[in-house]
Amino acid sequence: MGWSELAQAVRTGAPVITDEPGARGEFFSMLVRCIFPPGYATATEAVNSLDRATRARIRKILDIGGGAAAWSIPFVEAIRSARAMVLDLPQVTLVAREYAAKFGVADRSGYIEGDLHQVISRTAPTI
């Protein structure tokens, strides 16, 4: 399962990530570790480019599908009054928790664990 099966997925049009319990979470928990460095660097540049007044307005960050929190961690690091909430699969939020602790922002980080589509459909207001 994974990138090694890309050719098969293209040929068949079928997904290589099955609906087996935990399969997607295992894959994405590995992936977010690999993509953390460039995301973190880009997010650090983004938060550093904000003027002081804009930074002062940022208090709460909702990082939907946040992975290892590569985007929310730099904002919480730079804005001491900010708090981040990361929504992702349970196996992935384990990685986000690890990175938040490593970067010293665990006390200002929270987590919503679950499949994005299920969490949103449970909590979204109906129109």
Category of 114 on φ-ψ map: left (φ > 0), alpha (ψ -120 to 50) or beta: left
pLDDT digits (tens, 9 = 90+) for 74-107: 999 999 999 999 999 999 999 999 999 999 999 9
**Can you list the alpha helix ranges (DSSP code H) found in the chain?**
6-12, 23-48, 52-57, 72-78, 90-102, 116-123
Q: Is pLDDT above 90 for 67? A: yes
Domain 21-123 is found in CATH 3.40.50.150: yes
Would you say 84 and 75 are in contact if contact means Cβ atoms under 8 Å apart?
yes
User: What ranges do the domains of the chain cover?
Assistant: 21-123
Give this prediction's pTM: 0.78
* Per-residue model confidence (pLDDT) at position 16: 67
Cα diameter, the chain: 52
